[in-house]
Amino acid sequence: MKKICVITLVLFVFLVMINGCSKSDATVFHAARELPFPVLVPDPLPEGWEVVETVYEDELLVVSYRTGSDSRVELVQDLRIQGLDTLLLRDYLLLGSVNLPSLEEDKEIREISNYVGELTVFLEPIQIVQYTFVTKEDLIRSSGQHVPLYQVIGKQQATIEEVMELVGSLKTFTH
């Protein structure tokens, strides 16, 4: 009888844990265990925002959020993100400025919390706000090469402020 009570209690706790954990949380947890780089998550999620989709496949993790203004902002974590001049960003952190003509006209360097990256706004065919970034710590520790790159993409009329709000809330996921 005692064994049955213990097994029932364990099953009950297990079911409570499963129901308390969303599918998105479970997907992020799974990705964090498998990916060869730290996974970032908002902590806390900005007020009024909600997760609408989480995709993890082939070392790509994308979490899509609906903002309080009904825009869509995606956090992309993938080893194949390209196009970020990490050596330029490293110089920016160490020197406080860089030779900006080496940046394309539509890009600007922004520091947000523990991150530094390039902010780009594409106006056509539809407006997209994109911030591709690295952690400052990774950039300095690794001499600017072979660091994990991250990207936040604002769609459906997302503003620069909404993209920056998500980036400012990001922390390394610990499991």
Q: What is the pLDDT of residues 51-107, one digit of tens each?
A: 999 999 989 999 999 999 999 999 999 988 988 988 889 889 988 876 655 556 678
Which residues are CB-contacts of 110 (< 8 A; sequence separation ≥ 6)?
Answer: 116, 117, 118, 119, 131, 164
The chain-wide mean pLDDT, for the chain, equals: 85
**Where exactly are the structural domains of the chain?**
24-172
Which residues are CB-contacts of 82 (< 8 A; sequence separation ≥ 6)?
Answer: 149
- % of the chain at pLDDT higher than 90: 59
- Mean pLDDT, residues 117-144: 90
Q: Which residue has the higher pLDDT, 104 or 130?
A: 130
- Mean pLDDT, residues 27-45: 95
pLDDT of 117 reads 96
Q: What is the pLDDT of residues 93-110, one digit of tens each?
A: 988 876 655 556 678 999
pLDDT of 126 reads 86
Q: What is the DSSP letter of 38?
A: P
Beta bridge partners of 119: 108, 131
Distance CA 7, CA 13 (A): 10
- % of the chain at pLDDT higher than 70: 82
Which residues are CB-contacts of 141 (< 8 A; sequence separation ≥ 6)?
Answer: none
pLDDT of 21 reads 60
pLDDT of 101 reads 54
pLDDT of 63 reads 98
- CATH of the domain spanning 24-172: 3.40.1000
Judged by DSSP in three states, 10 sits in: helix
